[in-house]
């Protein structure tokens, strides 16, 4: 028991600096371990943003348009998505199956709302690659439009920047639009996905 208490106290002290810096304060001295535990307990509790993510759990049908190049007609396809809540309401997992660039694919996305950083974070992995693509962003005042930004390395060098707009229109519709910019190029719409309940 004594070992567990010492371990928790050490963890609290190590985590004190990031919390203070996140609030824009200098970590002049470690926060009291009990106070630190109270802060982390509060930050670990799901809030309104998590309730909204939980409302999306279920089975969805997807309709997708992909633009391989700017100013060319999109490739259209359909698919399905299963969404469920993980870890007592803290994270939304999406399992998506469909077609991408004319090939069958499947992918998994985890979406979080970070109470400490006050922003959404998504991690995406699929059969189209071996990396994990992450994006971060914030929501509109009503919480129904989430704008995310991220980037990924390109085979020819450099990074392609991405911007996504995720709209939770209502309980029957959500949309996800993705835009991309190659190094030195102009942004163009790459994908438009509409979700409706099965």
What average pLDDT does this structure show over 91-100? Answer: 95
pLDDT tens digits along 129-183: 999 999 999 999 999 999 999 999 998 889 999 999 999 999 899 999 999 999 9
Decide which of 30 and 130 is more confident.
130
Q: State the angle between helix axes of 2-22 and 33-43 in degrees (0 to 180), rounded to the nearest 10.
A: 70
Q: Catalogue the E-assigned strands of 115-186.
A: 119-126, 133-139, 145-153, 159-170, 173-181
Distance CA 131, CA 148 (A): 18
Q: Are both 28 and 81 inside the same structural domain?
A: no
Look at residue 109 in the predicted model and tell me its pLDDT: 98
**Percentage of residues of the chain with pLDDT beyond 70:** 86
Q: Are both 39 and 82 inside the same structural domain?
A: no
Q: Are both 86 and 172 inside the same structural domain?
A: yes
Look at residue 34 in the predicted model and tell me its pLDDT: 87
- Res 3 pLDDT > 50: no
Q: Are both 34 and 65 inside the same structural domain?
A: no
Domain span at 33? 2-44
Look at residue 10 in the predicted model and tell me its pLDDT: 43
- Res 4 pLDDT > 70: no
Q: Are both 54 and 40 inside the same structural domain?
A: no
Q: Are both 173 and 110 inside the same structural domain?
A: yes
- How many folded domains does the chain comprise? 2
What CATH number did the domain enclosing 165 receive?
Answer: 2.40.128.20
């Amino acid at each position: 028991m004594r070992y567990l208490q010492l371990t928790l106290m050490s963890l609290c002290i190590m985590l004190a600096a990031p919390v203070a810096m996140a609030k824009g304060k200098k970590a002049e001295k470690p926060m009291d371990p009990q106070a630190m535990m109270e802060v982390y307990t509060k930050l670990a509790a799901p809030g309104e943003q998590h309730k909204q993510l939980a409302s999306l759990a279920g089975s969805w049908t997807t309709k997708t348009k992909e633009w391989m190049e700017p100013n060319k007609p999109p490739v259209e396809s359909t698919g399905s998505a299963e969404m469920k809540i993980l870890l007592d309401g803290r994270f939304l997992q999406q399992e998506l199956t469909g077609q991408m660039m004319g090939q069958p694919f499947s992918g998994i996305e985890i979406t979080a709302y970070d109470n400490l950083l006050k922003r959404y974070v998504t991690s995406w992995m699929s059969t189209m690659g071996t990396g994990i693509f992450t994006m971060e962003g914030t929501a509109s005042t009503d919480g129904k439009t989430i704008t995310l930004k991220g980037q990924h390395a390109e085979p020819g060098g450099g990074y392609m920047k991405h911007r996504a707009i995720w709209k939770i229109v209502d309980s029957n519709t959500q949309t996800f639009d993705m835009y991309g910019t190659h190094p030195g190029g102009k942004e163009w719409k790459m994908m438009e996905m509409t979700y409706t309940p099965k």
